[in-house]
Amino acid sequence: MRHRLLAAAVLGATALVASVTSAAERTQTEALQDMLDTFRDLYGFPGATAAIALPDGQIVTAATGFADAEAGVPMEPGTRMLAASIGKTFVAATALALEAEGRLGRDDLLSAHLGTRAWFDRLPNAETITLGDLLHHTSGLPDHVHMEAFGAEMAARVASGDDALPPEAAIAFVLDSEPLFAAGDGWSYTDTGYLLLGLVLEDVAGETYYNAVTARFLTPLELSDTRPSNLRTIPGLAVGYTAPDNPFGMPPRTMDDEGALVWDPAMEWTGGGFASTSRDLAKWGQTLFTGAAMEGSYLDRLLDGVPVSPDAPGVLYGAGVAIYSDTPRGPVYGHGGWIPGYVSSLRHYAGHELTVAFQINSDVGIVDDSTDLVPAMEAGLADLAIEFAQELGSL
C-alpha cells in the first residue's frame, strides 16, 4: 500500500488510496479493541494492551481496562508493563550478535569466560556447560527463582525495602547443588543460566549488558518504548496486581501511591529485564523472526531448537525462543513472560509473516493455570491477525 501511495502520480488517486488505508486501519483497530474488551469482560483482569505487526509494516494496537484500577487511570496502547522473560530474546540476540562479531562462540565452555571467579567451581556442571547450553536451557542448572530460600530472601527484601540482589548473589543460591542432568543431556528452564550469560556478555562486550542491547537493537530498531527495568520507578508503567498469597510476600498492588514498585525489579536482570509496550514487543518480534534485526544471516542460529520434553515432540527451544513447529496456524516462534503483577506474550506466525503481542497488568489466576486466559488470547488474537493479513493480501 505504501509503495502505491509513493508511486501515485495523480493527487486524486493518492487521496483515494490514503482514504482506503485509513478506513482499513480504523476497522482493524476497532476489531482488535472489541476482542480485548471481550476478553476483559470474560476474565475480569484489570487491563491489557495488544499489538499486531502485519507483513506490510503496519502495527495495529488497542488497550482495555485500567492501568491503575484504584485511581481510574485508563490503560492506553502506549502504557508500559514489565515484559519479564520475553527479555531473554534480547539476551540471546545480543549473544548471536557478539558471536557474529567474533567475540564469543556458542560452543565456548562457560569456564573459559567465568572460570576464574571464586565461586565458579561450586556451580553444578561447572566444567562442562557451554554458552549454547545456557542459551537453550540444557545446562542442567537448577532455577534459583523457584528455590524456597530465594523466595524467602525476596520476601525479606520486599518487607524491608532493600535493593535487589546483584546477579552473582542470585546465582549463589544454586551453588553446591546437584545438577538436574549432565550438561547437554536434558532440558530445564533456568533464569540462573541467563544470569550467567549476562556476566559473559558484559565481559566480552566490555560494557554493561543494557548498553550492549541499546546500541545493537533498541536504538537502531527504534524501540523507543522499551527500557531497562532496573529502577523502582519506570515512566509510564501500569500498576501490576498479584495474588495475596504470592511466594514473594508482595502486596496485591505491586506499586505504591507515588508510582514506585514495592520491590526492586533489577533482581531480574538478564532473566528478563525490560519494561515495554505491546507495540514495541510486536515490532521487535516481527523484526527478529523475519531476519531483519541485525546484519547477516542469523535465523539458523536463533532457531536451532532442542526438544523440551519427549511428551511434546513438536515443542523446541532455540536461542532464547520457544518454537512450536507444528500448530494449526503453522510454525510459531516467541516467548512468554511472567513476573509478579504482569503477564506478557510474544508470538510470531512464520507462515503468515505476522507477530502478535499482548500484556496484562495482573498475574492473578493466570500463572497457576486456573484459567485458560493466555492460550485463549493467543489463539483469538492470532486468528484475528491472520484475518487482517488475508485482507491485506486481497487489496
The per-residue pLDDT for range 187-238, each reduced to its tens digit, is: 999 999 999 999 999 999 999 999 999 999 999 999 999 999 999 999 999 9
The answer to whether position 224 is within a domain reads yes
277 vs 29: CA distance, rounded Å: 16
Specify the pTM. 0.92
Among positive and negative, which fits the CA dihedral 182, 113, 192, 221?
A: negative
Domain assignment present for 67: yes
If one counts every other C-beta atom within 10 angstroms of the C-beta of residue 153, the result is: 19
How confident is the model at residue 393, as a pLDDT?
Answer: 75
Beta bridge partners of 344: 337, 359
What is the average pLDDT across 261-288? 98
pLDDT at 24 > cutoff 90: no
Contacts of 196 (CB under 8 A, 6+ apart): 110, 114, 123, 134, 141, 171
**Any domain includes 9:** no
Q: Is the pLDDT of residue 144 over 70?
A: yes
pLDDT over 60 (residue 19): no
Binned at pLDDT 50, 70 and 90, residue 282 comes out as very high
pLDDT in tens, 68-82: 999 999 999 999 999
Using DSSP bridges, classify how beta strands 81-82 and 73-74 pair: parallel, antiparallel or unpaired: unpaired
Average pLDDT over every residue of 245-253 = 91
- DSSP codes joined into one string, 226-249: -EE--SS--TTBPPPB--TT-TT-
**Residue 91 in domain:** yes
Q: What DSSP character marks residue 255?
A: B
Cβ-based burial of 22 (10 A; exposed 0-12, middle 13-18, buried ≥19):
exposed
pLDDT in tens, 348-385: 999 999 999 999 999 998 877 778 999 999 999 999 99
Task: Provide CB contacts within 8 A for 138, sequence distance 6+.
Answer: 132, 183, 184, 185, 186, 187, 306
Share of the chain above pLDDT 90, in %: 89
CATH number at residue 72: 3.40.710.10
Q: Which amino acid is at 299?
A: L
Q: Per the domain annotation, does 179 fall within a domain?
A: yes
Within the chain, residue ranges assigned H as helices are: 2-7, 11-43, 88-100, 111-114, 131-136, 148-160, 167-171, 191-205, 209-213, 278-289, 299-302, 373-393
User: What pLDDT score does 25 carry?
Assistant: 63
Dist. CA 388–CA 104, nearest whole Å: 41
Grid cell at residue 284? 521487535
Q: Domain range holding 371?
A: 41-393
Match 475480569 to its residue by C-alpha cell: 44
Indicate if the pLDDT at residue 4 is higher than 60.
Answer: no
Give the SS3 label for residue 54.
Answer: coil
Q: pLDDT tens digits, residue range 86-108?
A: 999 999 999 999 999 999 999 99
What is the Cα 305 distance to its own chain's centre? Answer: 18
Q: Is residue 372 part of a domain?
A: yes
**Would the pLDDT of 3 be above 80?**
no
Mean pLDDT of the chain: 92
The domain total for the chain is 1
pLDDT of residue 367: 76
- Residue by residue, what is the 3-state secondary structure of 77-131? CCCEEECHHHHHHHHHHHHHHHHHCCCCCCCCECHHHHCCCCCHHHCCCCCCCEH
- Look at residue 364 and tell me if it is in a domain: yes
Angle at 68 between CA 160 and CA 45, to 5 degrees: 100
- Residue 278 within any structural domain of the chain: yes
